[in-house]
Structure 1
Amino acid sequence: MFLQKLINGFLFIYFLLLAIQTPSLNAQIILPIEFFPKFLIDLVSKYIQENNDYLISEKPHFRVGLAWVELILYWPLAIANVYGLLNKRSWVKKTCLIYGVSASTNLVAILSELIGSGKGSPKLVSNFYGPFMIATVICILNGLTTTTSSSSTRTPMPRKKRV
């Protein structure tokens, strides 16, 4: 029970940050730069310079496609998961599983490109994309676990005797 609350707390923070990050930072890959305030543009530029993330600066076609998936699928799921975790909804495990499986597939494509091309720095892989992969695995495992409810442990009602 304590472990599940700890995981839910971690996932709440993760999805809250994701709900903020996706439209403000990841959307800069696909939407015109004029849509964003200067401080967000500067933040992404600084990130690109510090981490040498060529997938954001060069915008290869597959990364643009993955950014659309992030904006259309992951962002609404992040908002739904924040709501569901906050209000203890029963469907949260399912939406965590959906997010985790899809996002880990997305990250495998990104990590394969970074590692396979030799352009991605070890710092970028381990400090930025690695933690996201760990979070998606936690989402998958959380979605696969079963919940125990008090209704399943109730004793059955006694049968009425027929006369």
Structure 2
Amino acid sequence: MGVVLNLIDAILLLFFLLIAVVAPLIDAQTCLPLSYFPDILVQLKENYTHDYGDYLVAEKPHFFVGLVWLELLFQWPVALLNLYAILTSKPWFSTTCLIYGVSTSTSMVAILSEMMNSNRASDKLLTMYVSFMGLGVLALLRGLLTCSSKSTSVLGRRPALARKKRA
């Protein structure tokens, strides 16, 4: 089980590093004025929008802008916490990973539902968003797993039950 957790943690480390960089530099352009960003980043986002045909990024529907705000104000800080937790082996990593996974998966359901029902998304675009959904589910599942095999409760370790004496 330890090898599987290490592999999952390595995948999530790369994912959280990606989010730590992309969210404030690229995704934030969806809801903040473009004048806040260097021209090279604005051009990078425009190239992505053109190459992938990401009509949500181009058209900025209200629900999508709201989900980007959710990402910037909630998911991005939790991703940073998860990076710190992975690198320093913090015991609360499972909790923050679960929080991040649930939030990301919920956002991706809304986005993928729009894309699949609109019939406007290319296979390339759907593949990218489904990958983010998969990574959100992976984070959620990692949050449900624990590194310890010891039985614990919310209050800590449970004492062993006393046996009754036979008469």
Q: What TM-score results when the alignment is normalised by the length of structure 1?
A: 0.89
Q: 1:40: how far off?
A: 0.7
Distance in 2, matches of 1:102 and 1:122, equals 24
The percent identity for this pair of structures is 45
Secondary structure of residue in 1 paired with 2:20: helix
Distance in 1, matches of 2:109 and 2:130, equals 10
Q: What does 1:1-163 correspond to in 2, within 5 Å?
A: 1-126=2-127, 128-148=128-148
Q: 1:146: how far off?
A: 2.3
Tell me, which stretches of 5 or more residues in structure 1 are unaligned? 157-163
Distance in 2, matches of 1:18 and 1:123, equals 20
Distance in 1, matches of 2:151 and 2:62, equals 50
Q: 1:151: how far off?
A: 9.8
Counterpart AA for 1:57? A
Q: 1:147: how far off?
A: 2.4
RMSD of the TM alignment (CA)? 1.6
Q: 1:142: how far off?
A: 0.5
Q: 1:150: how far off?
A: 7.4
User: Deviating runs (4+, > 6 A) in structure 1?
Assistant: none
Counterpart AA for 1:7? I
Counterpart AA for 1:115? M
Q: 1:121: how far off?
A: 1.2
Q: How many residues align?
A: 152
Distance in 2, matches of 1:6 and 1:49, equals 34
Q: 1:70: how far off?
A: 0.4
Post-superposition Cα deviations, 1:33-59, rounded to whole Å, max 9, x if no partner, equal: 000011110110000111110100000
Tell me, which stretches of 5 or more residues in structure 2 are unaligned? 153-159, 161-167
Q: What TM-score results when the alignment is normalised by the length of structure 2?
A: 0.87
Distance in 2, matches of 1:151 and 1:100, equals 24
Q: 1:13: how far off?
A: 1.1
Q: 1:9: how far off?
A: 1.1
Distance in 1, matches of 2:69 and 2:120, equals 23
Distance in 2, matches of 1:64 and 1:150, equals 44
Q: 1:52 to 1:90 in 2, by over 3 A?
A: same
